Chains A and B, each alone.
Chain A
């Protein structure tokens, strides 16, 4: 398969990133070459092999539900690009 299977326009819309025409065609060319590697995985027999999501066998890491110190409201909002009182301010979502 010589062409890249990625519909770049569709995927970049999902990722909330706009690409210029030049970027789209450059990335396409690079993905074609990258998929030459990625397709090698299809040749492997992985039937019966479990998937490793992370290497350390930890699961259900819990702690007691106790109150602990946390950021103050002002600290949490300190990096907000825009704020209004105790809120993050963003463009309207609902009309």
Chain B
């Protein structure tokens, strides 16, 4: 598998031109796109112009960025100046932002070549990429299967090896779960590590952008390029960004890994999944890690807490879609309240409506304290659980998902879909960094191992994931069915 760092090094050595690499990536995407449908919008002209700019810099002997010439996809919720940015919704089907998100600006500054905007569950709500208002995306290892959500398009195109780098966002697991389903690396950084400026909001206290990549070194390089303080985002944290690539290691001597007893009990109900994770922990032990039992006693309340906090924030954030300033307006001649209603009723899909209604309810006078405030208090307890666990270990290893990729349409019940995020939601509520790294296969389909670390300790997490990846090489053991 060709990684982003291989491509960048080959371009820097002048073995290949960025233009040649970009054309090859666009060809690869074009070949598989009829089967995968990973992109909402392709940007071939922009990509070729950027590639030529990189080649010109090299020809003149100028310094090039850390991602120079590397084909990169971005989820369709990152504003990209003058390019369609739909957030997977009909209500934004015509939206062309007048500015670019900080993530896009930083990718441009690192000389990455942005090839297109990837498909996603509408407003990032979903765990299968079937809630896109436009079309579902398919899993590159099983075309009947889902790629996971909500960053399913980003996961699918990297999993198909069309591009080595993509950016996704994770609110309750939307980077880690699709990374697991598509045999790639997916990193949710610490909340506040990557700027949310220009990222279309779902649940503001949870949303965080992060890398979805061919390998851990690519994730380290991409995170290094997009992380760091941004005065345009008041939740961005001014903490130095280390050289993540320099901290990667090949063994785990002296590393104490926490195993969450509560999670092990949950995964034990599926013997195949339990066996996969047992093998993964044995691989970590062979690398020199020692294990510590930890507990997250409030993790079982994660779903309930998340499904109050996230919808509450979404009902507030999505109030801006009323047909006045941007987006698709319905029935413009009616009175203004009828216009709001008709626009939102026609513009939002089922899942978005369901969450707006749930969130509006949770914020209603009379219920606010009983539901929303109580959920925020449980969030504190969950954060305290992680603090106690990390007092005893350096990182936590646990399942990323409870099952391998499932078939499109197999989980039509939303509550069954919500259960998908059982192992990823607690980390989101606590705001800590967490990632999925290819961990093996169940019934021939990929499953990820989740590693998480204390806040702002992404370097430690990536170092552990790198040692595991180099020893096991699961991503190389299965070829996508499309290429």
Contacts and interface: CB of A to CB of B under 8 A. Distances in A.
Interface string B292-305: 00000010110111
B308 A38 contact: yes
A42 B367 CA distance: 12
B235 interface: yes
Interface stretch (B124-132, B277-285, B329-337, B438-446): B329-337
A76 B304 contact: no
A76 to B, nearest CB: 7
Contacts of A50: 377, 380
B353 to A, nearest CB: 5
Contacts of A46: 374, 377-378, 381
A51 B332 contact: no
A6 B357 contact: yes
B344 A52 contact: no
Contacts of A23: 350, 353
B415 A38 contact: no
B327 interface: yes
Interface in B355-411: 356-358, 360-361, 364, 370-371, 373-381, 383
B191 A17 contact: no
Nearest to B99: A71
Which of A15, A30, A40, A76 has the most chain B CB atoms closer than 10 A to its own CB?
A15
Nearest to B373: A51
- Mostly helix, strand, loop or mixed at chain A's interface? loop
Given A30-B415, A46-B378, A88-B325, A15 B304 contact: no
A58 interface: yes
Nearest to B334: A91
B209 to A, nearest CB: 15
A11 B341 CA distance: 13
Contacts of A15: 315, 344, 356-357, 360
Given A17-B344, A55-B383, A78-B96, A30 B336 contact: no
A18 B14 CA distance: 59
A17 B327 contact: no
Interface of A: 6, 8, 11-12, 14-19, 23, 27, 30-31, 33-34, 37-42, 44, 46, 49-56, 58, 61, 63, 71, 75-76, 78-82, 88, 90-93
A18 B205 contact: no
A43 to B, nearest CB: 9
Contacts of A78: 96, 98
A18 to B, nearest CB: 5
Given A58-B234, A79-B327, A88-B324, A53 B205 contact: yes
A7 to B, nearest CB: 9
Given A17-B357, A50-B377, A51-B376, A56 B237 contact: yes
Nearest to A33: B415
A17 B339 contact: no
Given A15-B315, A55-B191, A71-B99, A90 B339 contact: yes
Nearest to A57: B237
A50 B379 CA distance: 9
Given A49-B378, A81-B329, 9 more contacts: A17-B357, A23-B350, A41-B304, A46-B381, A49-B380, A53-B376, A81-B324, A81-B332, A90-B332
Contacts of B300: 40
Contact of B431 (A16, A37, A56, A61): A56
B357 to A, nearest CB: 5
A46 B315 CA distance: 25
Contacts of A58: 192, 234-235, 237
A5 to B, nearest CB: 8
B36 interface: no
Contacts of B350: 23
Contact of A76 (B98, B205, B361, B379): B98
B344 A61 contact: no
Contact of B353 (A19, A42, A51, A76): A19
Nearest to B382: A52
A17 B356 contact: yes
